[in-house]
Amino acid sequence: RMLADDKGSALVKNFAGQWLELRNLAKLAPDPGVYPDFDEQLRAAMIRETELFFETVMREDRSLLEFIDSNQTFVNERLARHYGIDGVSGEQFQKVVFQDDNRGGILTQASILTLTSNPTRTSPVKRGKWILENVLGEPPPPPPPNVPELAEGDTELLGTLRERMKQHREKAECAVCHTKMDALGFGFENFDGIGAWREKDGRHDIDPSGELPGKLSFQGPSGLRQILKTTKTQQFVQCVSEKMLIYALGRELTPDDRCTIETVVNRLKKNDYRFVELILAVVESDAFQVRGAMENGNE
């Protein structure tokens, strides 16, 4: 019942804004010289798509795994044009089913792809880091000091982004984190800096293949999503559970919260990872009940 009223709408805005970093999209300014199609209407449509998608998973009590991979989303005419989807007109958003597997879930939504890009190009590092932090719950350590910036400029002269980053990765101090981070990010290189599909970067063909630790090879965004959905289920569900508990408690987690997270994850596993089970497990937890009692002065 709680999720059907205004509290549900607040959860969409606030939790999606916090977990997915969606609120950061308002501050970003893609370079108009590189991305002339980007405007305020497109920015607003990007944010709304993700909010509507999140709201549907929540209100229809769908599996959390649909955040990783789903065959449907919500677009208006402006966003449909950006995605190359025909048959959508007007400002109203409508549900569409994808005709191919290039897109699916939050990782291929233009909002996430844009906020994990640089103003003039994609950033496999930012995209990989975002996935590590918000999907797998493995935030990488900060980079070592005095690491030189990646060479920018004409791809004709400097080679593909993958080639430039390979040179960057050859530095031992960079390789440890970048090997995993870059592989995750390059899986989404077919999407440009504002989330439009592309086959080339300049005149260079895009290579969206990669390999994650454990010899998990993939080809493109669809293959990577399948790996995340099937082999990283536990990590993803634990990550979302931690993010929801942080949101509900209004504080960072401590070692004492480990038992709560374990209980939440086990409950989700027994209930097909349904969204409502996540909410119930968190609000029924001792940690949340204690917080509520303290706020009510009943400690």
Give helix 286-295 / helix 233-249 axis angle, nearest 10°. Answer: 10
- 146-205 per-position pLDDT tens digit: 665 655 554 444 456 776 666 656 666 666 667 788 899 999 999 999 999 999 988 889
299 pLDDT band, cuts 50/70/90, is very low
What backbone phi and psi angles, to 5 degrees, belong to 63? -70, 140
Domain co-membership, 266 together with 201 = no
- 268-295 per-position pLDDT tens digit: 999 999 999 999 999 999 999 987 666 6
Mean pLDDT check: name the lowest of 87-96, 203-212, 252-261.
203-212
Average pLDDT of every residue of the chain = 90
Domain co-membership, 99 together with 223 = yes
Dist CA 18 CA 242 (whole Å): 12
Report how many domains make up the chain.
Answer: 2
- 104-148 per-position pLDDT tens digit: 999 999 999 999 999 999 999 999 999 999 999 999 888 777 665
Domain co-membership, 62 together with 197 = yes
Please identify, among 190, 205, 231, the residue that sits at the C-terminal boundary of a domain: 231
**Three-state DSSP string of the chain:** CHHHCHHHHHHHHHHHHHHCCHHHHHHCCCCCCCCCCCCHHHHHHHHHHHHHHHHHHHHCCCEHHHHCCCCEEEECHHHHHHHCCCCCCCCCCEEEECCCCCCCCHHHCHHHHHHCCCCCCCCHHHHHHHHHHHCCCCCCCCCCCCCCCCCCCCHHHHCCHHHHHHHHHCCHHHHHHHHHHHHHHHCCCCECCCCCECCEECCEECCCEEEECCCEEEEHHHHHHHHHHHHCHHHHHHHHHHHHHHHHHCCCCCHHHHHHHHHHHHHHHHCCCEHHHHHHHHHCCHHHHHHHHHHCCCC
User: Residue 183 burial by CB count (10 A; 0-12/13-18/19+): exposed, middle or buried?
Assistant: buried
Domain co-membership, 219 together with 263 = no
39 pLDDT band, cuts 50/70/90, is very high
1 pLDDT band, cuts 50/70/90, is low
Cβ contact 20:240 at 8 Å: no
Domain co-membership, 197 together with 265 = no
End-to-end CA separation in angstroms for the chain: 27
- Higher-confidence position of 156 and 264: 264
Domain co-membership, 203 together with 243 = no
Domain co-membership, 171 together with 271 = no
Domain housing 196: 2-231
State the pLDDT at residue 178.
Answer: 73
- 80-103 per-position pLDDT tens digit: 999 999 999 999 999 999 999 999
Is the model's pLDDT at 248 over the cut of 90? yes
Is the model's pLDDT at 296 over the cut of 70? no
